[in-house]
Amino acid sequence: MKREVAAEIVDSLKDAGVDFVATLTEANLHDLVMALGADKAIHHVPVTREEEGIGICAGAYLGGKKPAMVMMNAGFLLSTNALATVCIHPGIPVLMLIGHSGGVGEENAGHATVGALTEPVLQAMHIVYEKVGRFEDIRPTIRDSQMLARSSRRPTAIVLNKQALR
Amino acid sequence: MKRYDCLRAIAPHFGEELVVTNLGAVRHEWQALRPHHGNYHLQNLGLTSSMALGLALALPRRRVVAFDGDGSLLLNLGSLATIANRHPKNLIHIVFDNECYESSRGAPTATAGQADLAAVARGCGFANVITVKTLVEFEQGFLRALKSKDLYFILAKVEAGVGDVPAAALDSQENKYLFVRYIEKSENVKILSSTLSRAGEPRAK
C-alpha cells in the first residue's frame, strides 16, 4: 500500500469517528498498520490472531469506543465464529477493513481460493460490504460504512482490492 | 475448591466493577450471586480475555474483571501476549481451571496434562501471576489484586462442579442493551445512536 493511501485511510477513519483500531499486519497492510500506530488520536492494538481483534473491538465498543479492525481476508475467514457470536448475535458494530488477497489483480496463485471465498462468506453472514480500489472512494466509503455499522449495530466491511493495496 | 464457592467468597467485594463471564455455568452462578447491569455474559468460547481487554482499554478508570476458563483461554492463548503488552492496570484476569470441558460433558483439557496457564501468562509478560488452590488463598489473592491497581492473572485450580443456581434470565441482546445503557449512564457517554423523527420538518408543497 502506498503511503498516501495509508494516510488517506487513517484520516478518513478519524473523520468517521473511529478512535480504536485493532490490526493484524501483512505486507500489503504494513504502511497502514505503521501509520495507525503512529497516530496519537487512535488507540491502536496490534493482535496475535484476527478473531482476538474482533473480541477486543467488541469490548471497546461496550466501553464507548468506536472500533475498527484491519486485517487480510484470511483473517476475516478465521474470524467468522467470533463475528457471529460476539458481534452479530448480540448486535455489536465493528467496521472491518479487509485486504483482498486473491482478488482481481492477484499474481500469487496460492491466494486464489481464499480470494474467491471472501465475498460469498461476507454475503452468507449478511454483512454489508463495499469494494474499494480508487483513492477518491476511500473517504466516502469509510464514512458511510461506519455510519451503517453504528446505526444497524452490526459489523460492516470494506474490501480493499489490489488497486488500494499495491 | 469449587468455582461457585470462589465466586461466593468474592461477590461481597464488588461495587461498580465491570465483569465479563465466559460461556458456560459461570454466567448463571455469577448472575445469581451478583445481579448487576455491569455483568456482560459472553456467548463465545475463547474471547472472554479479549472482550475484557477491549473494555479495560476503553475505560481505563473502571476496574474490569474477567471470569475465564481453561478451555476458553486455551483457544486464545495469544490474547495473553496482547494483554501483557498493553498492560491495562485496571484488568484482573481470573481463570477457573477445572482441567476439563465441563459444559461439554467433561473431557479433559490440556491443563489436565502438562499445560500450566500461569506459566504461559508469566512467559507472555504478566508481572503479577498467582496460582491458588484453596478458598482462603483465592479470596486473599483477589483482594490483593483489587487493592494493587495493577494487571493481575489469577489461576484458580478448581474441581469440576456447578453451583445450584437458576438459569440467568438474560438473553444476549437484552444483556447488551442493559450493559450499554449502564455504561452510558455511569460514564456519561453516548454509545447507541438514535434518529430524530422528521415529523417536525416543514411539509413539501
Q: Give which of A23, A25, A49 to mutate to test B binding, by max B Cβ within 10 Å.
A: A49
Which residues of chain A have a CB within 8 Å of the CB of B193? 150-151
Write down the domain spans for chain A: 3-165
Of A51, A63, A89, Cβ closest to residue B55:
A63
ipTM, 2 dp = 0.97
The runs of H, that is alpha helices, within chain B are 3-10, 25-33, 48-58, 70-74, 78-86, 117-124, 135-148, 172-187
Which residues on A lie below 8 Å from B79 (Cβ)? 48, 52, 55
Query: Does 3.40.50.970 match the CATH number of domain A3-165?
Result: yes
Distance CA A110, CA A112 (A): 6
Number of A to B CB contacts under 8 A, please give it: 124
Dihedral over alpha carbons A24, A26, A28, A31 (to 10 degrees): 60
**Quick one: which H or E segment has residue B91?**
strand B91-97
Q: Shortest CA distance to A101 belongs to which of A51, A165, A49, A54?
A: A165
B189/A contact by beta carbon, under 8 A: yes
> The CATH number of B3-187 is which of 1.20.120.1200, 4.10.490.10, 3.30.300.30, 3.40.50.970?
3.40.50.970
The answer to whether residues A150 and B193 touch, using CB atoms and an 8 Å cutoff, is: yes
List the beta strands (DSSP E) in chain A.
20-23, 43-46, 67-72, 95-99, 129-132, 156-160
Contact B59 A90 (CB under 8 A): no
Determine which of B16, B49, B55 to mutate to test the interface with A (most A C-beta atoms within 10 Å).
B55
Per-residue pLDDT of chain B (205 residues; tens, 9 = 90+): 999 999 999 999 999 999 999 999 999 999 999 999 999 999 999 999 999 999 999 999 999 999 999 999 999 999 999 999 999 999 999 999 999 999 999 999 999 999 999 999 999 999 999 999 999 999 999 999 999 999 999 999 999 999 999 999 889 999 999 999 999 999 999 999 888 788 878 887 7
Which chain B residues are closer than 8 Å to A85 by Cβ?
A: 43-44
What is the side-by-side order of every strand in the sheet holding A20-23?
A43-46, A20-23, A67-72, A95-99, A156-160, A129-132
Q: With an 8 Å Cβ cutoff, are B82 and A58 in contact?
A: no
